[in-house]
Amino acid sequence: MAGVEQVLRKLIAREGIGQFVRFSLVGVANTAVFYAVYLAVLWAGMSFVLAATAGAGVGIVNSYVLNKIFTFRSGGGVPGRSLGEKVRFVAVYVVQYFVNIAVISLCVNVFGIPPEFAGLPGIGIAVLVSYFGHKYWTFR
């Protein structure tokens, strides 16, 4: 329980709030990039799984650069310094990707939501997975 309290205190601290605001701004940009690619691939007649994969691929590159330089200011703002950091970054997104695919599949196959809209519900989950994963593991 002490670990949870420490995380909450850091998040509430002035630095934590500013960092979360920067992360949120990057997230808005990244979500727009992801969803634009997702919709373009759907409209090209491909499956929602391929659309989500393409969106995630483009989004990972965009997110790494923006979060490294702007949000977490890791490595002096110079992308490409640490192979371990890149591996951790991708690992967080792999987890986020599979969670997102599960949510989209559930929305399409169980709830009958059209694929064009089924990508929206997983966004909140993705925000939490990526913020805490990157803050406490990737850019530590």
- Please compute the mean of the pLDDT values over residues 15-36 and round it to a whole number: 85
CB 130 within 8 A of CB 63: yes
Supply the range of the domain harboring residue 13: 2-138
pLDDT in tens, 29-46: 988 998 899 999 999 999
pTM of the shown model: 0.63
Local structure of residue 64 (DSSP, 8 states): H
- CA dist 110 and 136 (Å) reads 34
Q: What is the count of structural domains for the chain?
A: 1
User: CB under 8 Å to 133, separation ≥6 — which residues?
Assistant: 91, 92, 95, 96
Show Cβ contacts of residue 67 under 8 Å, excluding neighbours closer than 6 positions. 23, 26, 134, 139
Lowest mean pLDDT among 9-13, 107-111, 129-133: 9-13
From the list 51, 33, 24, the residue with the least C-alpha distance to 117 is 51
Q: Where are the alpha helices (DSSP H) in the chain?
A: 2-12, 14-43, 48-66, 83-109, 115-118, 122-133
